[in-house]
Structure 1
């Protein structure tokens, strides 16, 4: 009888330890990315007709919004999309829109609000849509969600389109994994176009699959070291990913591991004091030559300092002299940085999962106290004051 495994652990053991859903949802991502691409390709003309009036307007604005992990999708993609589209593209969390709506929503500027929701039931997401409807004269809503029953996909708006992703991406686990990767891919495909990704989706999915399998032994070794602090650093789109990696580790270890994120250049300006002899530093290395040079400078400096327990490069262009301290992403040495978001995210997810298990926690429900929830609780939405 064949033993079914996920992330190298028998399914029966995962189920008994409360880790089955997280393991499955990390492992399924390459397949879900390809299904998401096929879904978006089939909707190409409808999506283009809906987003083009804003995306092609230099006077318009696109806001990528969500809370927590969903907000970091926007932070990864906004700088890239802002270069490609005529409209201004910003990442603004729903939590910022709801708390300071008039700071972020401009009545006379045409707006496409792109809302991310794993469950689609976050109170801030729903409130952000309502605020945009109230405050902005010309607004469209593109909803990217994983839950067909979520309230976000049925928002009452003048002009709205919902991208309903494959049901398997509606993660059952506490932490967002496949929902993050697939909502991020769907947004890139919707706004940049599936044609531009047609030749890239297979290498992206394959690279993610290789990381999930090939990097696991090295990540297991790191997880068993018991670091009490972890730093994630990245330039450009990888700074948003560094923030998401910190959240994933914090969630799955229930706050037992302190985290810090920054850009490699920014890290020297004070945050570097976070590093101790029990700190792991992980740097998401760019494929862009000038950016990569800055990444390597900081990595080499940290190793020369000798203050950190370990400094790891996650790189598609590994340096031979740093092989022992590199998680290599094979087959992506010529890839654009945006394409590396997915295999790099996989490395961070697998490490968080393994660190959680090394601490004896249940990754599916790591917060035993119930002080945080899969869908946020306790948010009161206050009425909009008169302008």
Structure 2
């Protein structure tokens, strides 16, 4: 098929991918809109959080399912490093099955829920579970849907703060793209220790970088996706490990599982997963902004390129002297990896979209038979009593 670029929405409409293409391309504009949302909500946020994050006995659980759970993984460690409170990421899919491992009745707990629709059965059940099993429980719901169950159930409750993302972030397509990046950046902004003006400035700076990424990477990513690629390996360290998992999920979702996608860390990849390489494998290293991590990443990149087993070995990340021809690089501000992750996800989202179309699938709905759904179905919530 001919390469179709993101701005060509009529062509994507014919291919069944117009919503996905538009929702990837609109992200930088939404990040600018999010800055205004955060600025308008900062008094409510400060009043709700109070001084709780300075209390070592305070627990904060970041949670979600699927891509929303990966948001939790991406943000938790970055935020935990800034505050005395104990913070962790925990997928709702684990919280619901083993609550006794994670909840303590006498320990104050803030549950931070991420939800595009806010109506998945696990999201709603997790809130009800924590409210029932923790005496001092509070809830921060970061969601894209004002009409979803999370937003509706939190209305008028003193124990709940609902933070709504810009309306256009509630993706119409199957895959989470703009919803994910907005919720991720919202969480970082809410829990960042820097002054509010610096937080919103970061969002606007990232929006400018995002515009550059979309424009510069659109055509080369589309060309990359036309190759004979049956496996994709995303590698990332620290918070970028979860980013790699999200990137791999996008490939699995949008290709309906026809392209195998895995994620690992640069150091962990040698411990067995390297055996998955073959002549139709694309390896994508998500590069850290941290010099130490980059040295480990560079070692593996050079090793994989010397081995010559994979079809392509590329990296995505901040521009640097160690970048190679064919890498996707960007000049970015000096920010932690978690803040930069949405930029690298732009590349991964574009690749998944283009690979889906190259396989003749319909990216907006890669599962027309309904085996997998935009809002998960078929979940029975069992009594935790």
- Into which bin does the TM-score normalised by the smaller protein fall? over 0.9
Match of 1:67 among 65, 68, 88: 65
Work out whether 1:80 is the aligned partner of 2:81. no
What are the residue-to-residue correspondences of 1:343-382 with 2, within 5 Å?
Answer: 343-382=343-382
Structure 1 match to 2:328:
327
Structure 2 match to 1:132:
130
Structure 2 match to 1:3:
none
Does structure 2 conserve the Cα–Cα contact (< 8 Å) formed by 1:276 and 1:308? yes
CA distance in 2, matches of 1:335, 1:317: 13
CA distance in 2, matches of 1:196, 1:109: 32
Cα displacement string for residues 359-386 of structure 1 (whole angstroms, at most 9, x for unaligned residues): 111110011221000000000001113x
Match of 1:256 among 255, 258, 261: 258
Cα displacement string for residues 176-235 of structure 1 (whole angstroms, at most 9, x for unaligned residues): 000000001111111115334233222211111111111122211210003100000001
Does structure 2 conserve the Cα–Cα contact (< 8 Å) formed by 1:65 and 1:113? yes
Structure 1's 7 and 112: CA in aligned 2 closer, same or farther, altered over 3 A? farther
1:9 deviates by: 5.0
Work out whether 1:18 is the aligned partner of 2:20. no
Structure 2 match to 1:228:
230
TM-score by length of structure 2 reads 0.95
Structure 2 match to 1:171:
171
Work out whether 1:309 is the aligned partner of 2:311. yes
CA distance in 2, matches of 1:315, 1:126: 36
CA distance in 2, matches of 1:175, 1:264: 26
CA distance in 2, matches of 1:11, 1:148: 27
CA distance in 2, matches of 1:107, 1:7: 52
Match of 1:279 among 278, 281, 295: 281
Query: Runs of 5+ in structure 2 lacking a partner?
Result: none
Does structure 2 conserve the Cα–Cα contact (< 8 Å) formed by 1:117 and 1:125? yes
What is the DSSP-based 3-state SS (H/G/I as helix, E as strand, rest coil) of the residue aligned with 1:144? strand
CA distance in 2, matches of 1:195, 1:138: 31
CA distance in 2, matches of 1:190, 1:19: 33
Structure 2 match to 1:184:
184
What are the residue-to-residue correspondences of 1:194-213 with 2, within 5 Å?
Answer: 194-213=196-215
Structure 1's 325 and 12: CA in aligned 2 closer, same or farther, altered over 3 A? closer
Q: Which piece of structure 1 moves more, 292-301 or 10-19?
A: 10-19
Residues paired across the two proteins, number? 378
Alpha-carbon RMSD across the aligned residues, in angstroms, is: 1.5
CA distance in 2, matches of 1:123, 1:233: 31
Query: Runs of 5+ in structure 1 lacking a partner?
Result: 1-5
1:323 deviates by: 2.9
What is the DSSP-based 3-state SS (H/G/I as helix, E as strand, rest coil) of the residue aligned with 1:280? strand
CA distance in 1, matches of 2:163, 2:288: 30
Structure 1 match to 2:35:
37
Structure 1 match to 2:240:
238
TM-score by length of structure 1 reads 0.94
CA distance in 2, matches of 1:240, 1:20: 27
Structure 1 match to 2:112:
114
CA distance in 1, matches of 2:54, 2:310: 47
Cα displacement string for residues 133-191 of structure 1 (whole angstroms, at most 9, x for unaligned residues): 01111111000010111011122666001001111111000000000000011111111
Structure 1's 247 and 284: CA in aligned 2 closer, same or farther, altered over 3 A? same
